[in-house]
């Protein structure tokens, strides 16, 4: 069996395994990728989408807008977005970010998100690891310093991860979001979501879904 056939059969099996749901077909295509990446059907229960999230993500990738990630792992995994012409950046290991974080006594993820605020226009902020990055992104958006077209917030962990996602949903940011409630998430999940959006930029793929 060829690799693409294995993936296709896996997606079919996951779709059946999810069963009844309230997702749109485009949202479901991303949920299937989250489950496929993790082997965890709980994403079918905890995934949340702002009503405008899918279209804003598609538009950002079609326009070749920059994407900012909080980890190099997620950055490396966003292959389909790069193939569509998007530059994927991660600042967390930059020397100036490391120095500033040490100076202020905060996480590098916070300073990396502050650095991302200088990018205009900014397509997508994709956070899969650091709750502090998500909370800082929310703060900067509220203050008008960060202006992404979409925020993907799926940080993983047991300290502030769930809380940061609840804050994302509860905040009136006027920025669409995709998230997964609770402690689960991760760089691979963030990359899967971005790659799923990149696939949806293909109008033929959108027709297949419908």
Q: Annotated catalytic residue: which of 36, 50, 93, 210?
A: 36
pLDDT of residue 210: 39
Answer whether the bond into residue 121 is a cis peptide, omega within 30°.
yes
Is 36 among the residues known to form the active site? yes
pLDDT of residue 11: 94
Q: Specify the pTM.
A: 0.93
Q: What is the pLDDT of residues 163-178, one digit of tens each?
A: 999 999 998 888 999 9
- What is the rounded average pLDDT of the residues 1-15? 86
Domains, the chain: 49-202 (3.40.50.10230)
Give the separation between CA 94 and CA 92, rounded to whole angstroms.
6
**Residue bearing tokens 């300290």:** 159
Q: What is the pLDDT of residues 10-33, one digit of tens each?
A: 999 999 999 999 999 999 999 999
Average pLDDT, rounded, for the chain: 94
Q: Using alpha carbons, list the distances in angstroms from residue 9 to 2, 3, 16, 101, 128.
A: 11, 10, 11, 45, 27
């Amino acid at each position: 069996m060829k690799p693409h056939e294995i993936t296709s059969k896996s997606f079919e099996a996951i779709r059946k395994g999810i069963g009844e749901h309230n997702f749109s077909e485009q949202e479901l295509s991303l949920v299937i990728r989250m489950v496929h990446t993790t082997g965890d059907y709980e994403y079918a229960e905890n995934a949340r989408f702002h009503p405008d999230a899918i279209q804003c993500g598609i538009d950002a990738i079609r326009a070749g807008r920059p994407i900012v990630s909080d980890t190099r792992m997620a950055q490396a995994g966003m292959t389909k977005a790069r193939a569509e012409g998007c530059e994927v950046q991660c600042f967390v290991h930059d020397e100036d970010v490391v120095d500033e974080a040490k100076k202020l006594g905060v996480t590098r993820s916070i300073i990396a998100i502050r650095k991302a605020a200088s990018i205009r226009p900014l397509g997508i902020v994709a956070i899969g690891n650091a709750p502090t990055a998500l909370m800082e992104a929310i703060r900067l958006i509220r203050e008008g310093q960060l202006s992404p077209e979409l925020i993907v917030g799926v940080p993983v962990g047991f300290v502030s991860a769930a809380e940061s996602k609840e804050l994302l949903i509860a905040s009136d940011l006027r920025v669409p979001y995709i998230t997964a409630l609770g402690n689960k998430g991760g760089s691979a999940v963030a990359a899967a979501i971005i790659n799923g959006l990149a696939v949806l930029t293909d109008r033929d793929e959108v027709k297949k879904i419908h």
